[in-house]
Amino acid sequence: MAHFQLSPVIFFDIGETLGRVESTSAGSVRLELFPYVPAILDRLQAAGVLMGIISNTGQLSWEVLTGMLVDAGVLGFFAEQLLIFSSLVRMDKSSPRIFAFAAECAGRSEAPNTCCYVGENAQERQFAAQAGLDTADDPRHLPTALDSSRPGPFHRSPSRFTS
């Protein structure tokens, strides 16, 4: 029987991971990307990595959130079925549930370790790890890790993905 290795799926937090989120006077939100983010997303997309978002979004609607991503120029990097917004799925990142749900949405409920959650919050990364996902604290560590030889989509060494 042939063994097929699953390609990685990477989920990003939005605020303080991809950039800074600011409320506007019109009651909307704006994402100011960190300067290094577009190149990282380009490189991951070119490598065939499926990408999504897991974010605590208060009461914001799908339209507001996707509009923010469009305005920032990044919506096209993310698979629509992998946009996991807490305001819509009625779960948040205060437990492993939303991370397990994200792996399920990616078709990885049996292989959550082929998913990686990238977020600056250590407690959220801990919940993601409890759900079986690999974790990283900074998107700048991902392209190097993906280029490295490793036994699976992600090497579970924390030093590989954290500073």
Note the pLDDT tens digit of each residue in 9-37.
999 999 999 999 999 888 789 999 999 99
Number of other residues whose CB lies within 10 A of the CB of residue 97: 15
Residue-level pLDDT at 149:
47
Q: What are phi and psi of 88, to 5 degrees?
A: -105, -35
Task: List beta partners, residue 23.
Answer: 29
Cα–Cα distance, 158 to 163 (Å, whole number): 9
Pairing of strands 19-23, 29-33: antiparallel
Going along the chain from its start, the domains and CATH numbers come out as 9-112+121-161 (3.40.50.1000)
pTM of the model: 0.88
Average pLDDT for residues 103-122, to the nearest whole number?
97
Residue-level pLDDT at 28:
84
Q: What are phi and psi of 59, to 5 degrees?
A: -110, 15
Cα–Cα distance, 88 to 108 (Å, whole number): 21
- Secondary structure of residue 29 in the 3-state scheme: strand
Could you report the per-residue pLDDT of 26-70, keeping only the tens digit for each?
Answer: 878 999 999 999 999 999 999 999 999 999 999 999 999 999 999
Residue-level pLDDT at 26:
81
Instruction: Pick the closest to residue 18 from 62, 83, 111 (CA basis).
Output: 83
Residue-level pLDDT at 143:
65
pLDDT over threshold 60, residue 87: yes
DSSP-derived secondary structure letter, 115: E
